[in-house]
Structure 1
Amino acid sequence: MTRLAIIRQKYNPAGGAERIVSAILGQLKHQSTLEPVLINRNWETLDGVAVCRVNPFYLGSIWRDWGFARAAQRAWKRVGADLVQSHERIPGCHVFRAGDGVHAAWLDARAVGKGWWHKLSVWCNPYHHFMLRMERAMFSHPDLRAVICISEMVKQDVLQRFPVRPEQCVVIHNGVDCTRFNPVAARARRAALREQYGIAADAPVLVYVGSGFERKGVAQAIRAIVPHAEVQLVVVGGDKKLAAYRQLAHALGVAGRVHFTGPQKDVLSHYGMADGFILPTLYEPFGSVVAEAMACGLPVLTSTRCGGGECVSPGVSGWLALPQDTAAWQENVGIWLAARAQWPWMAEQARARVLVQTEQHMVEQMMFLYSRLLQVSDKKNNE
């Protein structure tokens, strides 16, 4: 049996990337063509999946990632992997799944509108230099056969920056579990949650879901509701600078309409208590939360730098805006609010768009790619 090594350093139960890796492994263990082996530092137990744990000692983030990369390279040779798919930037892998996007593109997006002090702080951060060097080395490595881009946006980011051929880049959107994420199940606790957070039953509610508030635009989401006195914003997720966002809401006069819930295990019900989803991200390679929200029947307001925005039809299932354009975000919230009578129709359109985007379909596309790459490899070996 052909052995496929899948590499992801660590597991975060709330992480979208980790949920995707778990979905891939869960689908792969039900087929007999490929034997998956998970190479990781720390992961939950997965029945039916072989696990190779590598946990070299480290101090600091650079040593951590460098040490894991070297250990993973040794591990995939030790387990005899025929094909190596990495979710980390590790030179020598055969397939790189760009689930975290392109670090260089993230730095560019983060720098928009910032002054020299920001550029200096980035330049002085050795971790960014390390990540950029690892990225260049991986995308330039002769063993790299394919890049799984989770959006067309990521594909263009890769092609614009690295010596990768267009035919090497395959766009495979993240899959979503539309059985779990559905409007009926999501709304089961709608009334209870609104009462818990002190939100009126008929109030229009936008929900944000995610960690990393700076990158994902929580400040812009807060500004977006300022002109619209009816609108409530529910922010699901944690951030070490939470106090600064509370202070911003207070300074803008919307503290009573912005509800910070912290991280939540029951994300499904938080989608269901809302009428729309907002993600004004500076840079999001895809954003599984976008597909989850659409599966729950929510119109989506997201940015032009969100890969998941490729699933949104403006005016039909949501609206798009440039990440830094506050006026456009406020206008889009106003348009969403004015379209209240159309929300049920928009909910149907949003869900219909992602119904075909299942986790099974995602893995089938990957299996097709693996088969093609292995056939090419066998052909070269026989020549």
Structure 2
Amino acid sequence: MKLALIRRQYSATGGAELYVQRLLGALAAAGHETHLFAEKWQGQADGVQFHSVAVEGARAERPLRFAEAVNAALQHGRFDCVFSLERTLKQDVYRAGDGLHRVWLQRRRQFAPWWKRPLVGRGAFHRNMLALEAQTFDPANTRHIIVNSEMVRGEIAQHFPAFPQERVHTIRNGVNVQRFRSVPRSVARTRFGLGEDDFVLVFVGSGWERKGLPWLLKFMAAHSGDPRLKLLVVTRDRMRGKIPPNVILTGPLSDVEAAYAAADVLTFLPIYEPCSNVVSEALASGIPVVTTSFNGASELIEPGINGHVLSDPADMAALGTCIRHWRERGSAAPVKTRLPLDLEQNVGLTLQVLEQTVKAA
């Protein structure tokens, strides 16, 4: 199979790109000829031919310009399958890893201050993204779609009812499970200055407003008198305002598994996440997760068994109840999850969809 894979920016070291790295490796190992079309990339992938897709213009124009440029570049080669991880003009398979832009805008309006709501989504960038998204989800332009949660599948059915549901495939995110079971708890706690009796929440992620960090900081400020409750924050974002004394900032970590090993609960309260990897990482580490129903990864959660799901990320009382539940559990024994989390299975299922698409052509 001669495959064209589209990713606007590729990094061989970025955590979010681990899926792409493993997929490229699996394709090469299976003997497929793989071409990666990207605007920017870092590092190398064995057996992959890189194609630079240069675009210019303002931020509002660049996604559309990239889609147009990569469409033109694809005309110079004959490919058995075009697999896009971006909203582009025409492809055989599209992976909707970012969910739907129009749903993201709905959530922003829902949680924005009243005076800001009329302004959300009015810029040229958002208009272009919505138009490009409509083209991507046109069944005449895309043969198959891969989603990473049933939440996103439902959003596609609601907003793009013309796209046949039988051509939408749910393949959940996977992680390297062994990586997240490799750090001893005592070693991790010592590294971050935590006591064995501390009850530690952890937040991992960037784009802090979208992912609910302001609510967690508010919660910790309200509980600053509890000497044993701590929040470990792993983010590259610049923090705003006063940070409560019971919050520990680590900055970005290349070995984020250490933060999970030190923690008792992942607290992650997004207003929109198609399927957050941090939930799978935490569950692989054996710690429970408190997240929201606006996160497709909440489908991994069995309430009271391996976490809790909040219907409102701003509900501090409900958050407190969930945290008390896990604090009173009184044991660091790993929680169990019923759905597979292994990255290799994710890559294998993706490869099946690509191969089936080619056979059906």
TM more than 0.5: yes
In the alignment, what sits opposite 2:260? Answer: 271
After superposition, the Cα gap between the structure-2 partners of 1:267 and 1:13, relative to the gap in structure 1 and judged at 3 Å, is farther
Aligned-partner Cα distance in 2 for 1:106–1:375: 35
Identify the residue that residue 106 of structure 2 maps to in structure 1: 108
**Aligned counterpart, 1:380:** none
1:182-193 to structure 2, matched below 5 A, reads 182=181, 184-185=182-183, 187=185, 189-193=187-191
Q: Which residue of 2 aligns with 1:373?
A: 357
* Pairing 1:76–2:74 present: yes
TM-score, with normalisation over the residues of structure 2? 0.92
SS in 1 for 2:197: coil
Report the counterpart of residue 197 of structure 2 in structure 1: 202
Q: CA deviation at 1:115?
A: 4.5
What runs of 5+ residues in structure 1 fail to find an aligned partner?
250-254, 378-383
* Match status 1:178 vs 2:177: yes
Q: Please state how far the C-alpha of 1:13 moved relative to its aligned partner.
A: 6.6
Against the structure 1 CA distance between its residues 167 and 54, is the aligned structure 2 distance closer, same or farther, given a 3 Å change threshold? same
Q: Secondary structure at the match of 1:78?
A: coil
Cα distance in 2 between the residues matched to 1:135 and 1:186: 44
Q: CA deviation at 1:12?
A: 5.2
| 1:363 counterpart = 2:347 | yes
Deviations, residues 131-180 of structure 1 (Å, cap 9, x unaligned): 11110111125131111011111111111101211111110001111122
Among residues 250, 264, 277, which one is paired with 1:261 in the alignment? 250
Question: What is the one-letter code of the residue matched to 1:179?
Answer: Q
Give the Cα separation in 1 of the matches to 2:36 and 2:166: 27
In 2, the alpha carbon distance for the partners of 1:16 and 1:120 equals 35
The answer (yes or no) to whether the contact 1:94–1:145 under 8 Å persists in 2 is yes
Distance 2:187 2:67 in 1: 44
Q: Is the 8 A contact 1:41 1:54 kept in 2?
A: yes
- Offset of residue 340 of structure 1: 2.1
CA distance in structure 1 between the partners assigned to 2:305 and 2:163 by the alignment: 35
**What TM-score, normalized to structure 1?**
0.87
Q: Which runs of 4+ in 1 moved over 4 A?
A: 12-16
User: Partner of 2:65 in structure 1?
Assistant: 67
Q: In angstroms, what is the RMSD of aligned CA positions?
A: 2.0
Question: Where does residue 51 of structure 1 map in the other structure?
Answer: 50
- Unaligned 5+ segments in structure 2 are none
Query: 2:139 touches 2:164 (CA, 8 Å); kept in 1?
Result: no
When residues 14 and 333 of structure 1 are mapped into structure 2, their CA distance, relative to the original with a 3 A threshold, is farther
Deviation of 1:114 after TM superposition, in Å, equals: 3.2
* Partner AA of 2:39 in structure 1: R
Distance in 2, matches of 1:267 and 1:86, equals 28
How far apart in 1 are the matches of 2:251 and 2:51?
A: 33
Match of 2:273 among 284, 288, 304: 284
1:198-347 alignment to 2 at 5 Å?
199-225=194-220, 226-227=222-223, 229=226, 230-240=228-238, 242-244=239-241, 247=242, 249=243, 255-322=244-311, 323-341=313-331, 343-344=332-333, 347=334
Distance (Å, rounded) in 1 between the aligned partners of 2:121 and 2:53:
31
1-structure distance, mates of 2:216, 2:358? 45
SS of structure 2 residue aligned to 1:94: strand
Letter in 2 for 1:165: P
Cross-structure match for 2:25: 26
Distance (Å, rounded) in 2 between the aligned partners of 1:375 and 1:13? 30
Most deviating of 297-306 and 332-341: 332-341
Quick one: distance in 1 between partners of 2:149 and 2:270?
15
Write the distance in 2 (CA, Å) between the matches of 1:294 and 1:64.
Answer: 36
Judge conservation of contact 1:237–1:263 (CA < 8 Å) in 2: yes
Deviation at 1:223, TM superposition (A): 3.1
Q: Matched residue pairs, number?
A: 355
